[in-house]
């Protein structure tokens, strides 16, 4: 009997977490093999691995403890990837050499699969003098564009795009340009952006006082703080960015405030980190721990929770020693502080099982009780580890216990830390768990509400036929199983479509009290929310003790999230696609298509200037439902300089083609690649690289077979790619569907489970 609660869960496991060889051969035959692989790898750090491996396996079994995707996919594979999720890079020097050294470090980190954060406040503003070269500075945003271009060319480990966070202080002279930078839908698409908001700024906002924009001691501009605040609010109201990070509160509450200063976070905001800071993530699946769900006695056993948390802390501490790191500075930082980020997922489902309405005062109290229990269990487990293995090297008892997040901790926990020290400087964080939650049976994600009770997922089978699968929330399915398939859901079942924004804030604030890092959460706002009510959400987050705030309101730049049918509020109705676009409806294939014995195709000759030998590109097509679509690519040349990368490229592109969906994004990705050595002029047009030229040939072929309507009409960045009908936002980069939703600050596809944040 399968351990998976839903077909989509097994699909996610197979696509993202199942260990396979380079030829596609599965090393993990079952999900039990995956759990065994992870447990064995993390137990190897122990003095007696055979004693701990079964305990680690038991924690993983049935998806009770969910290590983050990088650990689940990478542990025990011997691949050269990092098991850490989050990095903040070093402080950017205000010099050209230092800036581009930082760019190189970012590329190396993303190459191994790390999402990164950067504070661009250290770069002098646009127009400032550059001494010695008689020039004016181009400003931090110009260098963010360079970072963005670099990120487009880097594919992170685990087959996902690199993710980046850019922050800027609210007193930087270029803050106004930073706030509006992403109003251009083609700019900085690989960045999340957030403003570092200070306590004095918030005081000035409330007092309607003046606010200076300063760099290196020079005041560049003075304006009303409330005016700047309103500009931040207007931008995020209009296109969902920038986010807001209450940076002074973060530093004040930081357990390590005596040893570090934080100025940036990882891409989703749940990990504020110092320069070269690194953190790994994992989640306790609360939905799997509720006994007697939907009954009067439903509860989570505290002893069971304590034991699971203790095992999870030990496993995550071992990851610090088992992981590779892109840079030696990151390894040193991780070893000196041994940060971990243990959080939860399935919170909303667990509350439903207890009969509590997400967002209510009682639900907030229950959330606070659970997070308190997890925090104290994690601290005690880490203190016991310190007694056994030693405290983290920078531990100092008095300043550590005086930090903002420890001062209200239970006295027995504080006493244990004072006596033994603590193994991990920071322990708790609530991360985005979109894909991991799907893998665990479609439990509710992180501390988010249930997004939708069910939705329909279209799947293309190998024979070209289409099937539909209903994907149901874990708690809803459990309720159906126990009360009948047609049973009406109780009144306390609420979802993100009907929840008031201030209910979101209440839940975030309740969890934050016992989380020593931060929380990744998106506060969904209705499109018709008034601007004043929208601003009240951020002020409530500030007043209630949150460390940051991220909202999402449907808008013209980022599009709309999925809508819910009025007749069946429990079902998501994905937007209909224009049948003329891309040759018809895009669906996701259940597994790669087998290659027919014979295929039709074309071969194209590409002559790159200054190259002795031409490149020949063969594209073969398959016919599905009476239409041709690209199936495989071969690239050949006598120039052996290109041999390795052309083989790799053809394998990757062919694998994408065989998965199905709207694969036109391949064209746009290739066309965006630039060669730092320079491109070439071909037929009166500048082509930035050989790869861009290959992308152009593939696009030409797609147009010829009717897969694309015309040049520049594929997915991604081309402004001509506006589809007819109602606005529906961006398409999924994995399967091409328009079934995207915003979860914990990450765009997540409900058709295939792809998430920008993994």
Active-site residue, 268 included: yes
Q: Which residue has the tokens 């929380």?
A: 519
Residues 6+ apart with CB under 8 A from 380: 310, 413, 416
SS3 181: helix
- Strand ranges in 626-739 using DSSP code E only, listed in sequence order: 627-637, 680-682, 685-687
* 381's tokens: 């487990």
Active-site residue, 266 included: yes
Which one from 270, 581, 632, 699 is the annotated catalytic residue?
270
- CB neighbour class for 688 (10 Å; exposed up to 12, middle 13-18, buried from 19): middle
For the chain, state the CA radius of gyration. 26
β-bridge pairing 680-682 and 218-224 = unpaired
Distance of CA 327 to the CA centre of its chain: 21
- Give, in degrees to the nearest 5, the angle at Cα 101 between 135 and 677: 75
- Distance, in Å, from the CA atom of 643 to the CA atom of 313, rounded to the nearest integer, reads 46
- Distance, in Å, from the CA atom of 437 to the CA atom of 445, rounded to the nearest integer, reads 6
- CB neighbour class for 742 (10 Å; exposed up to 12, middle 13-18, buried from 19): buried
Residues 6+ apart with CB under 8 A from 626: none
**Closest to 108 measured CA to CA, from 338, 276, 339, 322:** 276
β-bridge pairing 615-624 and 627-637 = antiparallel
Q: In what order do the strands lie in the sheet with 615-624?
A: 600-606, 615-624, 627-637
What does the CA dihedral 265, 271, 272, 273 come to, rounded to 10 degrees? -90
End-to-end alpha carbon distance in the chain: 28
Beta bridge partners of 548: 245
Which one from 85, 192, 251, 266 is the annotated catalytic residue?
266
Residue 676 Cα distances to 68, 145, 648, 679, angstroms: 35, 15, 21, 8
Q: Which helix (DSSP H) or strand (DSSP E) does residue 457 occupy?
A: strand 454-460
Residue 714 and residue 699 in contact, taking contact as beta carbons nearer than 8 Å: yes
What does the CA dihedral 667, 668, 669, 673 come to, rounded to 10 degrees? 100
**Closest to 473 measured CA to CA, from 750, 251, 58:** 750
Q: For 289-315, what is the HEC assignment?
A: CEECCCCCCCEECHHHHHHHHHHHHHH
- Distance, in Å, from the CA atom of 168 to the CA atom of 220, rounded to the nearest integer, reads 16
Other CB atoms within a 10 A radius of the CB of residue 276 amount to 21
Q: For 188-219, what is the HEC assignment?
A: CCCEEEEEEECHHHHHHHHHCCEEEEEECCEE
- Give, in degrees to the nearest 5, the angle at Cα 467 between 465 and 470: 170
Other CB atoms within a 10 A radius of the CB of residue 582 amount to 25
Backbone φ, ψ for residue 594 (5° rounding)? -75, 150
Which one from 170, 268, 546, 549 is the annotated catalytic residue?
268
SS3 245: strand
Other CB atoms within a 10 A radius of the CB of residue 407 amount to 10
- Active site positions, annotated: 266, 268, 270
């Amino acid at each position: 009997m399968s351990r998976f609660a839903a077909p989509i869960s097994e699909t996610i496991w197979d696509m993202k977490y199942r260990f396979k060889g380079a030829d596609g051969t599965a090393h993990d035959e079952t999900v039990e093999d995956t759990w065994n692989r992870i447990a064995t790898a993390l137990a190897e750090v122990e003095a007696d691995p055979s004693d701990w491996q079964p305990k680690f396996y038991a924690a993983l079994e049935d998806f009770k403890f969910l290590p983050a995707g990088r650990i689940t996919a990478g542990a025990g594979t011997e691949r050269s990837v990092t098991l850490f999720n989050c990095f903040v890079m070093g402080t950017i020097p205000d010099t050209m050499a230092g800036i581009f050294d930082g760019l190189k470090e970012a590329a190396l980190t993303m190459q191994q699969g790390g999402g990164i954060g950067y504070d661009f406040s250290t770069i002098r503003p646009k127009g400032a003098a550059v001494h010695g070269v008689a020039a004016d500075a181009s400003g931090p945003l110009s260098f963010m564009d360079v970072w963005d271009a670099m990120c487009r060319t880097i594919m992170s480990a685990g087959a996902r795009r690199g993710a980046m966070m850019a922050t800027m202080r609210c007193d930087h002279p270029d803050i106004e340009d930073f706030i509006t930078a992403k109003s251009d839908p083609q700019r900085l698409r690989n960045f999340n952006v957030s403003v570092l908001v200070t306590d004095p700024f918030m005081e000035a906002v409330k007092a309607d006082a003046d606010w200076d924009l300063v760099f290196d001691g020079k005041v560049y501009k003075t304006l009303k703080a409330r005016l700047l605040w309103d500009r931040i609010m207007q931008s995020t109201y209009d296109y969902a960015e920038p986010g807001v990070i209450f940076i002074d509160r973060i530093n004040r509450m930081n357990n390590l405030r005596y040893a570090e200063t934080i100025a940036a976070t990882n891409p989703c905001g749940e990990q504020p980190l110092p320069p070269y800071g690194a953190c790994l993530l994992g989640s306790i699946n609360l939905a799997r721990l509720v006994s007697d769900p939907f009954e009067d006695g439903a509860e989570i056993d505290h002893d069971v929770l304590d034991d699971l948390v203790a095992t999870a802390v030990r496993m995550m501490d071992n990851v610090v020693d088992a992981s590779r790191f892109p840079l030696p500075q990151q390894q040193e930082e991780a070893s000196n502080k041994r940060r971990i980020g243990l959080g939860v997922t399935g919170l909303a489902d667990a509350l439903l099982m207890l009969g509590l309405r997400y967002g209510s005062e009682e639900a907030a109290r229950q959330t606070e009780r659970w997070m308190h229990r997890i925090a104290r269990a994690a601290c005690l487990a880490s203190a016991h580890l310190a007694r056994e293995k030693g405290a983290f090297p920078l531990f100092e008892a008095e300043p550590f216990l005086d930090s903002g997040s420890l001062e209200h901790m239970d006295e027995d926990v504080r006493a244990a830390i004072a006596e033994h020290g603590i193994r991990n400087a920071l322990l708790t964080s609530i991360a985005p768990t979109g894909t991991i939650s799907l893998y665990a049976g479609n439990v509710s994600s992180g501390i988010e509400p249930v997004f939708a009770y069910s939705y329909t997922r279209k799947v293309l089978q190998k024979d070209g036929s289409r099937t539909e699968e209903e994907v149901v929330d874990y708690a809803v399915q459990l309720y159906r199983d126990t009360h009948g398939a047609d049973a009406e859901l109780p009144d306390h079942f609420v979802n993100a479509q009907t929840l008031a924004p201030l209910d979101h804030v209440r839940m975030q604030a309740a969890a934050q009290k016992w989380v020593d890092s931060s929380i990744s959460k998106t506060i969904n706002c209705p499109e018709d929310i008034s601007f004043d009510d929208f601003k009240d959400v951020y002020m409530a987050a500030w007043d209630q003790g949150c460390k940051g705030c991220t909202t999402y309101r449907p808008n013209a730049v980022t599009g709309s999230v999925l809508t819910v049918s009025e007749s069946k509020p429990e079902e998501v109705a994905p937007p209909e696609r224009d049948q003329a676009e891309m040759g018809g409806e895009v669906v996701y294939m259940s597994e790669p298509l087998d290659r027919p014995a014979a295929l039709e195709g074309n071969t194209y000759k590409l002559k790159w200037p200054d190259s002795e030998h031409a490149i020949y590109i063969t594209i073969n097509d398959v016919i599905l439902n009476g239409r041709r679509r690209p199936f495989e690519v071969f690239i050949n040349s006598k120039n052996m300089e290109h041999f390795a990368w052309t083989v790799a490229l053809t394998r990757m592109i062919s694998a994408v083609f065989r998965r199905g969906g709207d694969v036109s994004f391949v064209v746009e990705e290739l066309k965006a690649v630039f060669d730092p050595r320079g491109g070439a002029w071909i037929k009166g047009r500048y082509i930035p690289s050989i790869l861009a030229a290959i992308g152009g040939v593939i696009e030409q072929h797609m147009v010829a077979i009717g897969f694309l309507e015309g040049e520049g009409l594929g997915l991604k960045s081309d402004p001509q790619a506006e589809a007819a009908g109602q606005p529906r936002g961006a398409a999924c980069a994995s399967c091409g569907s328009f079934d995207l939703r915003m979860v914990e600050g990450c765009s997540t596809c409900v058709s295939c489970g792809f998430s920008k944040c993994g």
